[in-house]
Amino acid sequence: MAQETLLIALGVLFLAGLALDSFGRRVHVPRVTLLIILGAVLGPPVLDLLPLDVDEANELYAPTALTMVAFLLGGSLKRQTLAAHGREILIVSLTVVGISVAVVSAGLALLGTSVAVALLLGAISAATAPAATRDVVHQSGRKGRFVDNLLGIVAIDDAWGLLAFSVMLTLVGVLSGGDGSAALLHGLWEIGGAIGLGLAIGLPAAFLTGRLKPGEPTLIEALGIVFLCAGMALWLDLSFLLAGMTCGATVVNLARHHEQPFHEIERIEWPFLLLFFVMAGASLEVAHLSGVGLIGVAYVVLRFSGRILGGWLAGKLAGLTAREGRLTGMALMPQAGVAIGMALVAAEQFPQLGETILAITISSTIVFELIGPLMTQYAITHAVADPPAQGAGPD
């Protein structure tokens, strides 16, 4: 690939992203959805004009962008926030995950899907899209308890989702007559190891960063932490989302000398996220939509129902209003790369089920990537009375 072609393409994408951000504000459409559509139009699904290898680009942009997002989401788990909303965040995240898994698994089984496929798809339904959710919140500029809870929930619910997925892999392995312990051990390693890695990087970072420029880490320090966290997680086969979240939570709670520990990350995350969302759109395989049939449609409907029901029940348990609960479930509708990662693991463990699981997961991800951010925006707008902050937008 010619260097000039790549540079021109990046320049066009950045400027197009800026234009779409402005357009999205005028028509009240999340820029996440618009960028995914842009990637699909310019990429292989439609025009195939991008001078980039989509798979290779995703291998770099996705872990980097998502680790940045996870780091910032970890920063939302401040001691004060947890003291004020920790009970709500824990109850809602666990309940929404549990209800989603139960509704999708039971619904698909009742429709005649094999128990193994139903259980695995139920676990996959628990996955969310932290990048899309946080970006919609950031773009809205809204503040308040609902937004604080939402950021806290999306920071930790993938941990519960991964745990549920590991349990389901083990259960399906036992039902299939195999040994499910290896799958469970791998899941525990992915979660426990990621938390350990986040602490191993976050503890020294909390005390060493922010010394050269008093009050906040420098850009080099911020990038160094993110790249190290993402690279080590990939090398050790751990969840870079959980590692980044743990690292961010550690820094924000222990770095007492920091006034703005995440300021530099917030300034540079948008270019990475822009490329991530465009590449996500370019990698969509629309052909999967035509081959999923009733099961794929049922999965989308059941996941939607599970999120709303889970939010409503979680709201009652956590002392929220019924309306807040339902809107919380709606705000957690986006689903993206984590779900596909789970599907790939399931396909590797159970090759005979792989084609069905991958087709349904990929096709439903297309749907939830496009409509999920719209639902998150609707929920935030109707749940938060505070006006948008001035200047909210791309950094």
Please spell the DSSP secondary structure of 61-89, one letter per residue.
HHHHHHHHHHHHHHHT--HHHHHHHHHHH
State the total domains in the chain.
1
pLDDT for the residue 55: 61
Please report whether residue 249 resides in a domain: yes
Please report whether residue 50 resides in a domain: yes
pLDDT for the residue 307: 93
- Mean pLDDT confidence for 270-292: 71
pLDDT at 19 over 70: yes
In this predicted model, which residue has the larger pLDDT, 148 or 6?
A: 148
pLDDT for the residue 291: 58
Please report whether residue 200 resides in a domain: yes
128-138, pLDDT tens digit by residue? 888 788 888 88
| Domain coverage including residue 20 | 3-383
354-378, pLDDT tens digit by residue? 778 877 887 888 788 888 889 999 9
- Say if residues 341 and 319 touch (Cβ distance below 8 Å): no
Return the number of other C-beta atoms located less than 10 Å from residue 23's C-beta. 12
pLDDT at 1 over 60: no
pLDDT for the residue 131: 79
pLDDT for the residue 312: 92
Please report whether residue 158 resides in a domain: yes
pLDDT for the residue 240: 83
Please report whether residue 395 resides in a domain: no
Please report whether residue 40 resides in a domain: yes
pTM beyond 0.85: the answer is no
d(CA 167, CA 172) in angstroms, rounded, equals 9
284-342, pLDDT tens digit by residue? 666 655 556 788 889 999 999 999 999 999 988 988 888 888 899 999 998 876 787 78
pLDDT for the residue 235: 92
d(CA 228, CA 202) in angstroms, rounded, equals 11
Q: Which residues are CB-neighbours of 164 under 8 A, at least 6 positions away?
A: 97, 98, 101, 123, 126
> Which pair of structure tokens corresponds to residue 288?
């999967």
What separation in angstroms does the CA of 8 have from each of 21, 50, 126, 257?
20, 11, 39, 42
pLDDT for the residue 327: 92
Please report whether residue 394 resides in a domain: no
| CATH number for 48 | 1.20.1530.20
21-77, pLDDT tens digit by residue? 788 777 777 777 788 788 888 877 777 787 766 566 667 777 888 788 788 777 777
213-263, pLDDT tens digit by residue? 665 667 788 788 889 999 999 899 888 878 888 898 888 888 765 656 566
pLDDT for the residue 391: 45
Closest CA to 66 of 370, 368, 341: 341
Please report whether residue 253 resides in a domain: yes
